[in-house]
A = this chain, B = another copy of it.
Amino acid sequence: MKIYRYPTKETWADLVQRPVFEREEISGLISEIFNEVENNGDKALIAFNKKFDKAETKSISVPENEIDNAENELSNELKLAIQEAKENIYKFHVSQNTEVQKIETTKGVVCWRENRAVEKVGIYIPGGTAPLFSTVLMLAVPANIAGCKEIILCTPPDQNGAVNPAILYAAKVCGISKIFKTGGAQAIAAMALGTESIPKVYKIFGPGNQFVVAAKEYAQRFGVAIDMPAGPSEVLVIADEQAIPEFCAADLLSQAEHGSDSQVIFLTTDLKVFNETVGSVEQQIRDLPRNEMAGNALENSSFIVLNSLEDAIEFSNLYAPEHLILAIREFEKYIPYIQNAGSVFLGNYSCESAGDYASGTNHTLPTNAYAKNYSGVSLDSFVKKITFQYLSREGLQNLGKAIEVMAEAEGLFAHKNAVSIRLK
């Protein structure tokens, strides 16, 4: 835990730097995996399951009865929670549908945009210690609203060759029936290139480890799009004197438990809240099952006292956090000044885990300062907006001269002629 009291603004540029982790040089491995999947398809995926996931999988498609049976392995409580989360995610994302708005820019010249779904999308869900079935909802719900025709899901099998039932159930309630047992870079390769079982998709979504991230970058050279570049998860909490230290500490830890490379930043204007939050973090961490990870993450994390909330917002904009919690009384006053953030949580009861699971906002968000230039996943991520225009003869007459003059000035005479020939 790094502690800074009233650091001068000159030092902020250093304080907002993300910790740099040594990454293995894996680009050679990624291209080998892509080659192997391209040449041997499903067979390669089955071999990789054995090699990387210690799993025997005769086929990589999850059979229908396995999907149906998953339901029996979950508690009613969990099934209800998944349903409730799904409904809220649906309500928020369906509201992102925009009506077609036709604009007559010049008399006789009408322009508009219409949404069309990305027809084929692939969702990657990591396996391992935390089965992220919530991410299934976050990606499949907007894909359904958009009208994506083909939604497929890849996730690695466990050592028994099975997929976590909560992942299967979440997929089922979202109407996904094409689920494949393959993980890591090979799953991304399969979705980018296609295999006998797995259809090639146009866009790949979902989180993953450094191999998945590198494979998603690599996949783009095959014409596939990805949701966004990825980095470790992070939260920045701003607290004033009315903040409740136990709540702040709980939010900071809920980010820290994601992984050793997570980062949490705590900013406050109040020394009492500062000291009590630090104390509460140290106390709460003891009871966490993942306290080793959280402890490692805290080592890279900063707890900072600043002079004013204005300073705190300025610092936050410079850092551009994935999650920003405003545990301050007058949060409404500061909203207009928030420039760079993925998702913002307002007041003492808007904990980050609400947005992670069930409030309705998407939890696939820009990390690593990408909140400066990327939005989180939304309905927009699953559609293209196509522009349309209709010019009547009169419309072209009104606009023709301007087009001709500009085309000629750019030296593009065929562009000019396309107008002239129509107005002759």
- Give chain A's interface residues, CB within 8 Å of chain B: 75, 77-78, 80-82, 84-85, 87-88, 91-92, 95-96, 98, 101, 103, 105-106, 109, 111, 113-114, 116-119, 129-134, 166, 202-203, 220, 223-225, 229, 246-247, 250-251, 253-254, 256-258, 284, 288-290, 294, 335, 338-362, 366, 368-376, 378, 380, 383-393, 395-396, 399, 401-403, 405-407, 409-419, 421-422
Q: Which of A358, A362, A390 has the most CB of B within 10 A?
A: A358
Complex alpha-carbon distance, A421 and B325, angstroms: 16
Other-chain contact of A358, B96, B132, B402 (Cβ < 8 Å): B402
Q: Is the CB of B253 within 8 A of A386?
A: no
Q: What is the CA–CA distance of A109 and B410 in the complex, to the nearest angstrom?
A: 54
The interface centre, meaning the residue of A247, A335, A396, A409 with most chain B CB atoms within 10 A of its CB, is: A409
Q: Chain B residues near A399: list those with CB within 8 A.
A: 84, 88, 354, 358-359
Q: How far is the CB of A409 from chain B (nearest CB, A)?
A: 5
Q: Kindly identify which residue among B77, B98, B338, B348 contacts A98, using a CB–CB cutoff of 8 Å.
A: B98
Query: How distant is the Cα of A399 from the Cα of B391 in the complex, in angstroms?
Result: 51
- Can you list 7 residue pairs at the A/B interface with Cβ under 8 Å? A80-B405, A223-B368, A250-B422, A288-B417, A346-B388, A354-B403, A356-B407
**Distance in Å from the Cβ of A164 to the closest Cβ of chain B?**
9
**A335 to chain B: which residues have CB within 8 Å?**
114, 388
A92 to B384, CA, bound (A): 17
A227 to chain B, nearest CB (A): 11
Q: What chain B residues lie within 8 Å of A409 (beta carbons)?
A: 78, 81, 131, 133, 166
Q: Is the CB of B95 within 8 A of A359?
A: no
Distance in angstroms between the alpha carbons of A396 and B229 in the assembled complex? 31
If over half of A's interface residues share one DSSP class (helix, strand or loop), that class is named, otherwise mixed; here it is mixed
Residues of chain B contacted by A348 (CB below 8 angstroms): 422
Does A116 lie within 8 Å of B340, measured CB to CB? yes
| In contact, B402 and A81 (Cβ under 8 angstroms) | yes
- CB neighbours (8 Å) of A85 from chain B are 402, 406
Whether B101 and A417, one on each chain, are in contact in the complex, defined by CB atoms closer than 8 angstroms, is: no
Question: Which of B362, B383, B389, B415 interacts with A387 by CB under 8 Å?
Answer: B362
CB pair A407 B353 closer than 8 Å: yes
- A119 CA to B419 CA, complexed, in Å: 38
Task: Give complex CA distance A370, B220 in Å.
Answer: 11
| Complex Cα–Cα for A356 and B391 (A) | 13
Residues of B within 8 A of A372 (CB): 118-119, 202, 384
Q: How many whole Å from A176's CB to the nearest CB in chain B?
A: 18
Q: How far is the CB of A112 from chain B (nearest CB, A)?
A: 9
Shortest CB-to-CB span from A219 to chain B, Å, is 12
Distance of A228 Cα from B350 Cα, bound (Å): 35
Q: Which residues of B contact A256 (CB under 8 A)?
A: 414
